[in-house]
Amino acid sequence: MAAGILLVVTASGCSTQSQQAPTTSITVYASSAMIKSLTAIGKQFEAENPGTSVEFIFAGSSGLSAELADGSGADVFVSGDHDNMAAVANAGLVDSTPVPIAANSLVIATAPGNPDHFASLADLARPGVRAAVCGGPGACGSAIRQLEDRSGVRLNPLNVDTTDSDVLRDVTTGKVDAGLVFKTEALNVGDNVSWFAFPEAADATVTSWIAPLKDSDQAELAKKFVQDVTGVAGRKTLADAGFAEPNAKFEG
């Protein structure tokens, strides 16, 4: 399918069903950057709504938006950036105005201990530095393009990957000296890499959006899930995962 690398996750995490299995379910297409936070919100949603289940389809936002445009059925869409949510909205597929829910920023990931002593974005553009970045139409690639345009720093990366997970893999395997990844992704790597924020990243944040979709078989349940994500508890879960509040311009 067009979504590329795709992960199907149920909020409960169970692979077997009992006679008391949920009888009503919703399907959420969501940016892979939100696996941890949305799965946690989904578990709470199921606990608060007995007899329901949430199935997540996690992948890159551009692939998911293409799937929805091609007619794939889902109840809720969570995009990692504005452009892909706009594409779905402009196609008349959303049931209400999309809502910005969180912002993500880039950090520089290096081998443990930052042995090359990188300190800024410009360091990644130095001759001989092997760097990895995201390309393509997804949220990470969009953030990289914003970063270069607004900072004036032009990178010459050794690897241009599809996702920031791929970039981190390049860093951890030693294929590159450093890479640009989202903070939320770096937080989950543990001691396999070192990472640090850098000033230019403040001008290259991307905003995640959520909206219930038209033609949902469970429209009220879908709207309720959106309310849980955008509510106080949902925003706390997103903050705990490393996301920031959306910036005033909702860019990205």
CA distance 12 to 219: 21
For 97-225, list the strands marked E by DSSP: 99-104, 106-110, 131-134, 159-161, 178-182, 194-196, 206-212
For the chain, list the strands marked E by DSSP: 7-10, 24-31, 52-59, 76-79, 99-104, 106-110, 131-134, 159-161, 178-182, 194-196, 206-212
Does residue 15 fall inside a structural domain? yes
Total of domains in the chain? 2
32 lies in the same domain as 155: no
Residue with tokens 């067009």: 2
- 211-239 confidence digits (pLDDT tens): 999 999 999 999 999 999 999 999 999 99
CA distance 129 to 169: 17
Helix axes 35-48, 232-240, angle to 10 degrees: 150
25 lies in the same domain as 95: yes
Looking at per-residue pLDDT, the higher value among 248 and 197 belongs to 197
- 99-148 confidence digits (pLDDT tens): 999 999 999 999 999 999 999 999 999 999 999 999 887 788 888 998 99
**Is the separation of the CB atoms in 144 and 121 below 8 Å?**
no
Average pLDDT taken over every residue of the chain: 89
Structure tokens at 112: 């443990």
Structure tokens at 33: 């950057």
Does residue 177 fall inside a structural domain? yes
Which pLDDT belongs to residue 132?
A: 98
Structure tokens at 175: 């294929």
117 lies in the same domain as 183: yes
CA distance 228 to 226: 5
Does residue 250 fall inside a structural domain? no
